[in-house]
Amino acid sequence: MLKITIHEDSQPARIRIEGKLKGVWVKELEEAWRAVQRNHRRSLLDLSEVSFIDTAGCELLCLMYRNGTELLADQPFTRYLVDQIKAKMPRNS
């Protein structure tokens, strides 16, 4: 299960997810992110309450980062993934 909370009143718009980013929840996050992208220039994804990310979730994080979304991680697992993404992915914006 994944909980998605969007704070559009902040700049950048903040998307906070809690739980496991896997399976059908990857698509749910992508749809939420794309809706935020339509309304805001910048966005931030808060991964501080994420306990697991599958391969499809990692691919989505790469796409989001490449398209200008900042990734915020403070747990060892998510911080490692974010560091890997930032080291290997070129940014479009």
pLDDT, tens digit (0-9, with 9 covering 90-100), for 65-89: 999 999 999 999 999 999 999 998 7
- Strands 70-72, 43-53: pairing is parallel
* Res. 19 pLDDT band, cuts 50 70 90: very high
Provide mean pLDDT across the span 45-50: 97
User: How many Å apart are CA 38 and CA 57, to the nearest integer?
Assistant: 21
In this prediction, residues 35-64 reach a mean pLDDT of: 94
- Are 62 and 85 in contact by the 8 Å Cβ rule? The answer is yes
CB contact at 8 A, 48 and 72:
yes
Question: Binning pLDDT at 50, 70 and 90, where does residue 11 land?
Answer: confident
Amino acid at site 10: S
CA-CA distance, 15 to 5, in Å (whole number)?
Answer: 6
Domains of the chain: 2-88 (3.30.750.24)
The confidence score (pLDDT) of residue 26 equals: 98
